[in-house]
Structure 1
C-alpha cells in the first residue's frame, strides 16, 4: 500500500452519500435485434419486456412474473422414503450403488414441475414509405434504466424511448419525430396462447385477455412411458397407463377442467398531433409528432396455495386501478417517478475498473467479442453494473423472485421449465444482493422461501416422517417441495439449509436482531430439525446424511462404474455443519437454552469432518471416489469455501489449499453460470488474475441460443449463455467482481483481496460488508490509495489490506482535531499487526496488516 496510511481518523458524520456515475454505463448497438438474445431487457419487478428496436416493425416481447402453467393442487405427493429406506441403506452399505440408485429413481422421485409462460407481444408497424434508414443506434443506459432507439429517415430523426416503472407498474414507450416527417404506425397485441385469446381495440386502448395452460408438460410422452411414470400424470394418462385420446403437452381451460391462470394486457396511447383510428383489433396513429404508449398487465394469481382458476383474482380491476392512478400523469411525470425510484437503488454503487480505451467505444457485442485481447479491461465494470440493473429490474418487493431466466422468457417450454433450481442456481441469482447494496431486492426471494417452507413442513412429515421442513432440487411458483422426476439429481433433500443461509447473510449485513428472531430463526430451526432426523452414524461413528449426492456429479467405483448416491457427500455435510453452527449462534444471541439446542450442539461435534483426498483435493464424497467428470460444471463440495465461510486461507489454510486443488482439476472451461461461480471461488482464494481469467472466459460472445450446454459465454445483450440462456451467470459474475474488491466473510473486512493486474487503477464506492459497513475504495498502480468505512451499526471491526502500512497516531487537522479519547485502537499497544509469509505449498501469501477499529454508529473511518 505505498505510504498511503499516514492518517486514520474518525469523522462523526452520517454514513450517507451519493456519487456521480462512470460514463461507461451504456450498452449500444448499430443494428436492430434480429433474435431474442440480442434484444434489450426492461423490467419493473412485475413485468418484463424484450425490446428489439426494428425501425419498421418494433417488437416488445412481454412477460408477467406470476404467469405459470398449472395449479397448486396438481402435483404428485405419494412418495414414501420410509418404505424403502432400509433397503436403500443396505444397498449403499454393501457398495451396491447402482442398485440403490435404481430403487431411488423408481420410488423416491415425483413428477415434473410447471412452466413459466410468455404472456405476449406488442407490435408497432411504422410506415416509412420504404425510405432508407440511416444513422441507426440502439442503446440502453444502465444509469437511468432507459432504452433508446434512434435513426434518420431523410431529414427527420426518429427516436423511441423505453422505460419500466416499478412505482407505477407500467412500461412506457415514447415515439418522437424531429424534422419534417411524421409518425404513422399501427400497433397491436398478440400471444402464443392464441386458443384462449380475446382482443379489443376501443378509443385509445388495446386490450388482450387470455389464459395459460392449466397443465404444462416439458417431458415427452416417450420419456414418461420409458420411466413407467404414467401414474404420476393423470391429466394425460388413463389408470391403465394408456394415453388419453386427444392429449397434448399443453392443456388449456376446458381441456383440463377449467384450470389455468388468466391474464390481461392493456395498452393506452396518447398522441401529439395527427389522429387515431380503430383497425379491427389494432389501432392506427397517423401524422403524429409524438406518440406515447403505456402498458401494464395483471394475472389471476392469488398466492402459491390458491387455484388461479377457482380462487384467483380478476386482473381487470387491478389494471383499472393502475391506469386510474396515472391518468393525470404526463410522460415527463411518469419518467421522473421511474427515475427517482430506480436511482435510489442504482446510485448506491459507483465503480471504475481501469480506464476506458479506444476499444471501449465500440458497440457492446464487439466489446464482448474482443474482451480477451486485454485492451478493454473497464468492460468488467459495465457488466457488474448490468448485473445490478437486472436485479433491480427483475426482483422488487411485491413481485416474484428471479427464476432461471430472471423474468424474461419467450418460450412456451423454457429451459428447465423457467423455474427455480435450488441446488445453486436460484441462490446464485441473489449472491450480489447484499454485497452490491441491493438488499431490498431479496424480498421476493425471502417470501418465496417462506412459502416453500410451509409446503416443506408437509413434505418432511409425509415423505420422511421427520420434523422441520425440507426442499429438494426444484421449485416453481406453486412452491412444491417434493423431488421432481427422471433426473437422479432431483432427490436432494438439502436445499432448506442453503436457502435459509440467505436470511442469515441478511442478518450479518444488517445486524437486525428482530429480523434474526422473527425471520431467520424459525426457518433455520426447521431446517435443523429435518437434518437432526435425517442424520445417521457411519462405521467410524461420525454423523452423515444416509443418502446424498454431490449436485449434479457422479463418482466412479468398481472399475469405472458410475453412480450418484452415497452416504455423507461433502456438500451435504457442509450445509448441515453451517446450519447447526448458525443455529447455535442464533440461540446464544437470543438466549435460548433447551434440550433440542443441546442435541444440536452434541451432533455438531460428531459430524463427518472435511477430508483431503489422494490428489490433494478436498474430497467430494465421504469415500475418496474418482470423479466421473473431472471438469464437471458443479463443484458443490466447495460450498464450505463459497458461499459459506467455513474454509478460508486465514483460518483453514490446509483445507483452502485442497479447495484450490479442486479448482485446478476442474479447469477454467465450463458452462456460463459455472464460470460465474468460479470467479467467486478464485476470489476467495485471493487469486485475482485467475478470477479475471474466468471472467474473460465468460465474456466469449455466443450468437445463437443453443441448447447444447457447450461453449458457455455471453450473448450480445449481455445475458449469460449457459447455453441456453440462464441468468444466474450474470449474477454470479457480478458477485464475483464484488468479492475481488471487498471480502468480509472471514471475520474481517479485506480490502482489494483479489485485485488483478489489469485493474491496476480504479475506484468503487458503496459496496457492503458484514457487520453493517459500507466501503469506498480508491487504488492506483495496484495499491490502495484511500479507503473509507461507513459504520451503520458501530462495533469492533478488523480491517485487512494486502500491503504493509506504517501507521502513525492521529494528527490534528482543521476538520478533525485530535480526540483525547479516540474511538479507534490498534490491537498491539497502538501498533498494527503485520501478518505475512503465511505460506502453504504454492498457495498465495496472505500478507498485509490488520487493524482493529472500534467503530461508532454513523461514523466514517478513513485511511489515507
Structure 2
C-alpha cells in the first residue's frame, strides 16, 4: 500500500505540473576561474575540492574534513569559576555595574581560541599541448554532482569530468579527447604545509605531510594587551616572553604534535598510451582518455586521541580506500556515484519561471543582472545549490559542516574555519529536515554527543554544576570552554540548548520515538540540568541567567558605557524556556525523572518573560538598553520566533507584532549569512515580498562584475560572501526559500505562506513538514492550484491555506476547509485523519 500510494503521489504531481523532462540544474561559465572564489566545489561528505577549470593548467584545491591543527593536548583548560568570583560578578550585575563585571569575566573566565581546519593539498594537471582555444565552457551539474570543463584546442575536442564519490570516498578526474593521441598531461601535488612531500609509490603518486601542531590567529600584540601570555605556553615562556616570531608551529617546534595526512592518486588508461610515475609527478601521453582515482586520509582517530601518538596510519587508510575504488572502472564508479547522490538530491524539485534569455546566460552574468530583472529560476537554482552543498559536505560518518563547509584554502582561515555555535553551525542545518536531507544531520548529532562529553567536564570542573555546557566555538577536538577574549561572543554558555533543539526537530519531522528517548532526551536533559543550576533570582522573584550576552551585540549602559554582558538576555531566556519545555514533554512521554521534571516545571513558571521595549520592539536584554549598533547583523533575541516556535500570530499576537517592529528597526542591510536569517524571519512574518527584498540584496555580485556593491552577497560561484566566504549563508537562504513555500512550526501545515509576487508561477515537490508529511504543490498567478500530501507516519493533518480547499483520498472527498482569522487576515483550515503511506489531494474550491 505504501509503495502504491507513493507512486500515485509522484504521478499526481507530475500530472498536475505538466512539465517536460527537466534539464540538469547547472552553474556554468564561459571562462576558467581566476581565483578560489570563482572555482566550483565538489565533495563526498568527507573529502572535497575546488575545481578551477583551467586549460593550460587545471587545479583542484583539496580538503579532508578531519584535517585540523592541534590535538587534544593543546586544549586550554585552566579556567575555574570560583563561588567567590561568581558572587562578585553577580553582585556587580545587580548593581548595574556591567562594565566592571564584564572586565572580571574577561580576565578570569575566558580561555583561548580553538584550533583550525586546514587545507590538505593542491592537485595540478598541466596541459602539455598549446594552441588556440575556442568553445570553452565549464560547469557544475548539481543534478549529478559533476564538475565539467569542455573546450576545443587545435581543432581537437577536450572534455574533463570531476566528481567526488561517497560510496567509494574518492575523487575521480577523467580527461577525454576526440583524437587518439590528443592527451599529453603532467600531474603533481603541492601543499600549503611545508612538511608535505610528494612520492611515487609503484602504480600511484602520493603526497604526505603533517599539519601544524598549533595555530593561533590572534596577533602577539592582541594577546599581550589582554595579558593572555599564560594561556599560550606554546608561544610564550614562563616570564611572558615570546618564544617564536610566528604563530603557526610545525614538528619539533611543537613537540612533534600534529595530524598526519596522505593523498594517493592512481591513473587508469582504458585506451592505452604512455604513463610514467616518478617522485616529480605523473606524465600521461599518447591516449584519448585517462582517469585518475584519488583518496585522502588523515591520522584522526577520535576527538579525544592524539593523532600523532594514537592515530590511524593515513598511508594505509588511503591505500585501502584507493585499492577498493579502482576495482571499479570509470563507468561503474560514475554510476555508483550517481545512484547514491541522486537518491538524496532528486527528493526535492523546485521550478520557478524565468524567460529564455535569462536561462541562456552564464551564471555570473545572471547574478549581475538579478537586480535589474527578477530571475526566479536562478532563485530556485540557489535553493537547490544549498541542498547540493549539504549532500556534498555532510554525510554519515563524516564531520559536520563548519563555517566554510568542507572547502578551505587557508592555514589560518577566517574565524578558524571551525564551528561558531551562536548561530552559524545551527544555520547550516536549518534546512536539512524541510529540504528532505535528514540523513545529512548525522555528523551534527555526533558532534552534539561528543561535545556533551567534554561539556560535562566543563560543567563540573569550571562551574561546579550538573549537566553539560559548551560555549561560542568548538572544533574537531570538541573544545567546550569559553574561548578568546571578545566579551560580546566568547562567554556564552547557552550552546547546548540550541544544539539540542535540532534533536527535537528531528523527532518532529521523523516521529522516531526511539531516537527521542535514547538520543535526544539524555542530551537535552543534560542541557536542562546545567541551565537549572545556572539560573539565579533577579531580586524580584524571576529567574534569569546571571551573566550572558546577546551574541554578538553590545549595549550602552545608563551611564554611557559600551559593554556586552548583562543578566537575563532575551536569547538566554528563550533557549532555556524551550529546553525546559521539551525536557518536560519527553519526561512525560517516557515517564522518566519525575523529580527533575517537577524541578523544571517550578523553574519554568518563574523564568523572566518576553518584554516589549519603548519602541514597540521585542526587547533584546533584561532592560531596555540602547543598542550600540541599532542595525546589528545578529537577531539573537528573535530566537523564540525563528528558529523557535514560541512566538506565532495565533499564540502571541502582540509579540508577533513586536518581532516585525524589531526587524523594521534592524533594517534590510546585512552580511551574507545574516540575510539568510532575515529571509527566514520575514517568511515567518508571512511577508513574502519583504523576504524577497532580502533575496534581492543577497544577489549582490561580490568582487566581480561592473555593478558590484559593498556588503554581503554572492561570489560568482554562488557561494555566500559574508564577506569573506561563509557557507551558512547558502544554507540559511535555502531554509528561507522552503519557509516561504511551506511552514509547519505552529501546529499546522501552511501552504504558500509567504509567496512573493515575482514567484507567481511554479511548482515544488518533496518538501517535508513536521508530522512526517511530504508536500507537492503547484501554483499559478500567485495562488495555489493543486497540492498533494503524502502521510508517511499516519498522523492527523491540520492544513492551512489562503484559499478554501477540499481534501480527497483517491476519488473520495474526506474533508473541506473552514475560514479562520489570524493576524487580521482570513485563512482556511482543514483537519483530517491520515493513513501511513497514503497520499491526499488538495484542491482549491472554485467560486
Q: Assess if the C-alpha contact under 8 Å between 1:801 and 1:850 holds in 2.
A: yes
Q: Does 1:13 pair with 2:14?
A: no
What's 1:23 paired with?
A: 23
What's 2:821 paired with?
A: 836
What's 1:236 paired with?
A: 235
Q: Does 1:853 pair with 2:832?
A: yes
What's 2:842 paired with?
A: 863
Task: Give me the whole-angstrom Cα distance separating, in 1, the residues matched to 2:729 and 2:531.
Answer: 30
Q: Assess if the C-alpha contact under 8 Å between 1:45 and 1:166 holds in 2.
A: yes
What's 2:413 paired with?
A: 414
Q: Deviations over 1:651-695 (max 9, x none)?
A: 211101000001001101000000011000000000001111111
Q: Deviations over 1:207-258 (max 9, x none)?
A: 11100001111111111111111111111111111112x4521111222111
What's 1:191 paired with?
A: 191
What's the offset of the Cα at 1:360? Answer: 2.4
Q: Assess if the C-alpha contact under 8 Å between 2:170 and 2:325 holds in 1.
A: no
Q: Assess if the C-alpha contact under 8 Å between 1:797 and 1:854 holds in 2.
A: yes
Q: Assess if the C-alpha contact under 8 Å between 2:166 and 2:337 holds in 1.
A: yes
Higher relative contact order (CA 8 A, sep 6+): 1
Task: Give me the whole-angstrom Cα distance separating, in 1, the residues matched to 2:211 and 2:630.
Answer: 42
Task: Give me the whole-angstrom Cα distance separating, in 2, the residues matched to 1:115 and 1:598.
Answer: 42
What's 1:93 paired with?
A: 94
Within a 5 Å distance, the mapping from 1:545-556 to structure 2 comes to: 545-556=545-556
Q: Assess if the C-alpha contact under 8 Å between 2:740 and 2:753 holds in 1.
A: yes
Distance 1:383 1:543, change over 3 A: same
Distance 1:166 1:837, change over 3 A: closer
Q: Assess if the C-alpha contact under 8 Å between 1:211 and 1:263 holds in 2.
A: yes
What's 1:482 paired with?
A: 481
Task: Give me the whole-angstrom Cα distance separating, in 2, the residues matched to 1:308 and 1:860.
Answer: 51
Moved more, 220-229 or 387-396: 220-229
Task: Give me the whole-angstrom Cα distance separating, in 2, the residues matched to 1:180 and 1:582.
Answer: 66
Within a 5 Å distance, the mapping from 1:608-627 to structure 2 comes to: 608-627=608-627
Instruction: Give the RMSD, CA atoms, in angstroms.
Output: 1.9
Task: Give me the whole-angstrom Cα distance separating, in 2, the residues matched to 1:218 and 1:710.
Answer: 25
What is the TM-score when the length of structure 2 is the normalising length? Answer: 0.96
Moved over 6 A (4+): 18-21
Task: Give me the whole-angstrom Cα distance separating, in 2, the residues matched to 1:559 and 1:70.
Answer: 43
What's 2:677 paired with?
A: 677
Q: Assess if the C-alpha contact under 8 Å between 2:810 and 2:841 holds in 1.
A: no
Aligned residue for 1:277, secondary structure, equals strand
Task: Give me the whole-angstrom Cα distance separating, in 1, the residues matched to 2:189 and 2:289.
Answer: 20
What's the offset of the Cα at 1:855? Answer: 0.8
What's the offset of the Cα at 1:795? Answer: 2.0
What's 1:42 paired with?
A: 42
What's 1:733 paired with?
A: 733
What's the offset of the Cα at 1:592? Answer: 2.4
Within a 5 Å distance, the mapping from 1:387-402 to structure 2 comes to: 387-402=386-401
What's 2:362 paired with?
A: 363
Moved more, 220-229 or 719-728: 220-229
What's the offset of the Cα at 1:725? Answer: 0.5
Distance 1:799 1:255, change over 3 A: same
What's the offset of the Cα at 1:86? Answer: 1.0
What's 1:509 paired with?
A: 509
What's 1:320 paired with?
A: 319
* Aligned partner of 1:255 among 244, 253, 256: 253
Aligned residue for 1:490, secondary structure, equals coil
Task: Give me the whole-angstrom Cα distance separating, in 2, the residues matched to 1:641 and 1:837.
Answer: 16
What's the offset of the Cα at 1:746? Answer: 0.2
Q: Assess if the C-alpha contact under 8 Å between 1:795 and 1:855 holds in 2.
A: yes
What's 2:17 paired with?
A: none
Q: Does 1:649 pair with 2:628?
A: no
Task: Give me the whole-angstrom Cα distance separating, in 2, the residues matched to 1:217 and 1:226.
Answer: 15
List runs of 5+ in structure 1 lacking aligned partners.
1-9, 827-831, 840-844
Q: Assess if the C-alpha contact under 8 Å between 2:205 and 2:277 holds in 1.
A: no
Q: Deviations over 1:392-414 (max 9, x none)?
A: 00000011100000000001111
Q: Does 1:598 pair with 2:598?
A: yes
Task: Give me the whole-angstrom Cα distance separating, in 2, the residues matched to 1:320 and 1:55.
Answer: 30
Q: Assess if the C-alpha contact under 8 Å between 1:357 and 1:376 holds in 2.
A: no
Within a 5 Å distance, the mapping from 1:226-625 to structure 2 comes to: 226-244=225-243, 246=244, 248-271=246-269, 272-488=271-487, 489-592=489-592, 594-625=594-625
Aligned residue for 1:378, secondary structure, equals helix
Q: Does 1:141 pair with 2:141?
A: yes
Distance 1:704 1:363, change over 3 A: closer
Q: Deviations over 1:620-655 (max 9, x none)?
A: 011011111110000100000000000012221110
Within a 5 Å distance, the mapping from 1:114-263 to structure 2 comes to: 114-129=115-130, 131-179=131-179, 182-194=182-194, 196-244=195-243, 246=244, 248-263=246-261
When the two structures are aligned, how many residues end up with a matched partner? Answer: 829
Q: Assess if the C-alpha contact under 8 Å between 1:73 and 1:307 holds in 2.
A: yes
Task: Give me the whole-angstrom Cα distance separating, in 2, the residues matched to 1:437 and 1:176.
Answer: 36
Moved more, 362-371 or 278-287: 278-287
Aligned residue for 2:199, secondary structure, equals strand
Moved more, 349-358 or 517-526: 349-358
Task: Give me the whole-angstrom Cα distance separating, in 1, the residues matched to 2:539 and 2:811.
Answer: 66
Moved more, 266-275 or 717-726: 266-275
